[in-house]
Structures are given as structure tokens and as C-alpha cells.
Structure 1
Amino acid sequence: MPLVTINSSIQESLKKHEIVPDVIDDGFNPSCLLTISYTKEIGVSMGNNLKPSETKNIPDVFVATDYTPSEKSNASSSNSEPKYTLVLTDPDAPSRTEKKWSEFCHYIVTGLTIPTDPKSGVSLGKLDISKGSTLMPYCGPAPPPKTGKHRYVFLLYKEPQVSHGVLMKPPRDRPTWGTDVPASGVRDWAKKYNLELAGVNFFYAQNDEQ
């Protein structure tokens, strides 16, 4: 199914769950579908509920994007295959109403490439996380007791082809992505490195003690 036919549904979900504007800006137009699977039976689905025990390990990440054959050919001929950064962030730390640790950085891996069908030019494949550069090791969701549901947001960013010598660095701390400014995080970090948001998926998780 062409991405254009489901973009409105994605945008509606992001606004309904207030990922827009809490984590990303309004007007975001997805250029890829981001599928997250912790197991064959447990996946992330735009706001579904998962248990912290189900999400403690790094998931499999699949990306489908609407590259055209000509775009892929041009990228290959110029030896500049697009690279991507994947992050996981929690805007509800320690709770939806208390933002002193928000956003909490759970994961950053950079330098990822998307497998592409050479015949169709359509990218559809599992990201090889082992070939990326992990800036912040994966930290599974651990919402504190009695803090309600937390939103855990995966974001896939396209990296600029020309970095101008600026190497991405991890935030100095996980809470507030090291800014010490409540309710800040990945948006400012991504802008610092000229990252272009390509795809989003998210889920809810809460502590068993409520």
C-alpha cells in the first residue's frame, strides 16, 4: 500500500496521543513505515499497550520506504547510500504530568542503512543494528510505580549526506537528554545534527503497581 494512503492515519494517531506536539512538531509527513517487533507475537503498533517485561531487549526493526528506482540508482552511483539514526525516548518521565526527567533517552544507534529491493527500488527490510554505531545503549522501559502509562516513542531519522565534520555525540545523560530542561529532549538533539525525521512508532507501558 502506498505510504501516501496511510500518512493521514499516522498523523491522526500522533496527534491523538499527543506525540505531536510533545515529542515532534506538527506537520510531520512520514516518508517510511517503521515496524518494531520484540518477538513474533509482540510488536509496537501506534499506541498499543505492552508490558515492561516484554520490552526489555532490543527489538527487531523493519523499515519500508517509497524509494523510486531512479533515486536508489542515483544514491548508489554517488556512493552515498542514505544512513539513518534510530532512537527511543520517553516523554513521560517520571509521569505524564511530572516532566522533571522528560524526555528520558532510552536508545540511540546511528549509521544504519535500509535494505532495498534492487529491481523495484522499494526498501523493505530489517535494519542490521550490529552495523550501526550505538551512541546510547538500549535501556528497556521501567516506568516507576504509580505513575500511570508512559509513552515510548521510536523515531527514525535520515542523516544528512554531508556532516561537515560534525560527529554525532550522545547526550551527556539520559534524563532530559542531558539538557536539564524538563520536557526537552530528542527534538533539540536531532536539530543539532540536522537529522530529518522519517518514521515514528510508539507504545504504552506502565508499572504493574498502580
Structure 2
Amino acid sequence: MHTSAVDPLVVAQVIHDVLDPFTSTVPLSIDYNNRLLLRGADLRPSAVVSKPRVDVGGNDMRLLYTLMLVDPDAPSPSHPTLREYLHWMVSDIPGTTGVSFGQELVVYERPEPRSGIHRMVFVLFQQLGRGTVFAPDMRHNFSCRSLARQYHLNIVAATYFNCQMEGGWGGRRFRPESSQGE
């Protein structure tokens, strides 16, 4: 059996919907409220109100990275017309440090899915040099692939968590969707 087939990023179709296959080369540690984020974890919106602490590994502070948090399932997994929605973007993060040492290009916007289970994907790219990555004009219909091509970025790490409405855990509930608040 091919090893990539059991990769959670493949199983969750993050590799396909958001990213092309890649080899992770830099450790990425993400903590929400002092709890380490495990790949594929289920987090409620109340647990992700504030931006997480993110540490980038590696052994060379001269290498710089860009971190993004995107939602490929916006506004709903069955109709992801806003794919990918950009929730956060930080560039110029030196290796061996954390996002607090980087430049926040797009301010953290907490995930608040209104319909279905959303995959919230963190992607870490190595960038060519300081000040070589710029914020997009809009958060919706963003594309990690396009940005990577535009700024010659290489994926070095990725992870994701699942998020849905506060009361949404414990199986799928089928209710007619109201058109209010859309």
C-alpha cells in the first residue's frame, strides 16, 4: 500500500482541494489555548476565537516562511463557492521562531462555520526572501496554489482541523437550511 494514501491530508482531501502532494520538511507546531493542535482534530468556534500560537521549526533563522489559514469549505461543504476563504496570513517568519516574529498581512478572523463541517487548513510555505509575499485583495476565493506560483513559494508543512457550529457535534443533523443571515 502506498504510504501517502493513509496521510490524513489525503484522506480529508486537503491534498486535492487545497494543495498538491508535497513532502513535509519543516516542523510546524500550533497551539490553541495552550493545547497542541493535532491533525484532523475537531474544534468548536469557541476554541478558536483568538489566533493560535504557531512555532516554525527548522534550524536556520535566515530562511523565511509564510503561514496561511484557509477554509476550502466556505460557505458550506456542499457548495464551497467561496473556496478558499483566507482566515489568516503571516509572512516573513524566520525559521526556528514563531508567527509573532513575522509580519501579519491578513488579520486573524476566527472560523465561524454556519453549515456543515469545515476543514480549516494551515499551510506553511518557504518564501524566497524578506518582503516578497503580499496580501491578496480579498479573503474569499483565495488560492494557496496561485499564491505559491505567484511568489515562488514551496510548501514545507500543512495541517488541518475540523470546525462546525457550536451545537453541531455528534453526527449530522438534517434540517432545512433557512435563508436568513446568508
Q: TM-score range by the shorter chain?
A: 0.7 to 0.9
Residue identity in the other structure for 2:113: P
Q: Which residue is 2:118 aligned to? A: 150
Provide, for residues 124-177 of structure 1, a one-character-per-residue CA deviation record: whole Å limited to 9, x for no partner. Answer: xx51x3332111000111101xx211000011110114x8xx842211111112
Q: Assess if the C-alpha contact under 8 Å between 2:4 and 2:10 holds in 1.
A: no
Q: Which residue is 1:134 aligned to? A: 104
Percent identity between matched residues is 30
Identify which of 156, 161, 172 aligns with 2:137. 172
Q: Which residue is 1:44 aligned to? A: 37
**Rg larger in 1 or in 2?**
1
2: CA distance, partners of 1:64 / 1:11: 24
* TM-score, normalised with respect to structure 1: 0.73
Deviation of the 1:25 alpha carbon = 0.5
Q: Which residue is 1:12 aligned to? A: 7
Residue identity in the other structure for 2:119: R
Change (3 A) 1:131 1:52: same
Deviation of the 1:86 alpha carbon = 0.7
1:197 aligned onto 2:162: no
Deviation of the 1:49 alpha carbon = 0.1
5 Å-filtered alignment, 1:21-40, equals 21-26=16-21, 28-40=22-34
* TM-score, normalised with respect to structure 2: 0.83
Deviation of the 1:12 alpha carbon = 1.2
Provide, for residues 15-38 of structure 1, a one-character-per-residue CA deviation record: whole Å limited to 9, x for no partner. Answer: 101001011012x11002212101
Q: Assess if the C-alpha contact under 8 Å between 2:9 and 2:15 holds in 1.
A: yes
- Number of equivalent positions: 166
Q: Assess if the C-alpha contact under 8 Å between 1:106 and 1:140 holds in 2.
A: yes
Which consecutive unaligned segments of at least 5 residues does structure 1 have? Answer: 1-7, 116-125, 178-184
Deviation of the 1:209 alpha carbon = 4.8
Q: Which residue is 1:64 aligned to? A: 57
Change (3 A) 1:16 1:137: same
User: Where is the helix percentage greater, Structure 1 or Structure 2?
Assistant: 1
CA RMSD in angstroms comes to 2.1
Q: Which residue is 2:178 aligned to? A: none
2: CA distance, partners of 1:87 / 1:16: 21
Q: Which residue is 1:54 aligned to? A: 47
Deviation of the 1:13 alpha carbon = 1.1
Deviation of the 1:10 alpha carbon = 9.7
2: CA distance, partners of 1:11 / 1:131: 34
Provide, for residues 66-92 of structure 1, a one-character-per-residue CA deviation record: whole Å limited to 9, x for no partner. Answer: x5xxxx5xxx8xxxx110101100000
Residue identity in the other structure for 1:143: P
5 Å-filtered alignment, 1:116-135, equals 126-127=97-98, 129-135=99-105
Deviation of the 1:114 alpha carbon = 2.0
